[in-house]
Amino acid sequence: MSDCIFCKIAEGTIPSKKVYEDEKVLAFHDINPVAPVHVLVIPKKHITSLATMEKEDQGLIGHIFGVIHNLAEELKLQKGYRVVNNCGEEGGQTVAHLHFHLLGGRSFAWPPG
């Protein structure tokens, strides 16, 4: 999608501080972190949100969670971490490209807000 900031990051048009990349997924540091570790994990394929994904994308979501698991180990988040997906405007989604926040390095409260 030509006007999607995450598609542009995945294409390399907009630079990012990458922590992981393969043929399906890109993970990079958030430019406005809310925790000592704040990594965004996105599919390279443009999917607007979990609410709009196709059945064929379910395997990709599983792959993303495998990447998140491996990143949590690499980033030494053994004390715990949070994975967040905001879905739709009322869910707090501000970029219309499916993405997951990997947050760690501090304690988190519940409910989040």
Catalytically annotated residues: 99
Q: Which two tokens stand for residue 15?
A: 């630079």
Nearest CA among 35, 19, 15 for reference residue 68: 19
**CB-based contact 18:39 (threshold 8 Å):** no
CA 84/CA 99 separation, integer angstroms: 9
Sequence-distant (≥ 6) Cβ neighbours of residue 31 within 8 angstroms: none
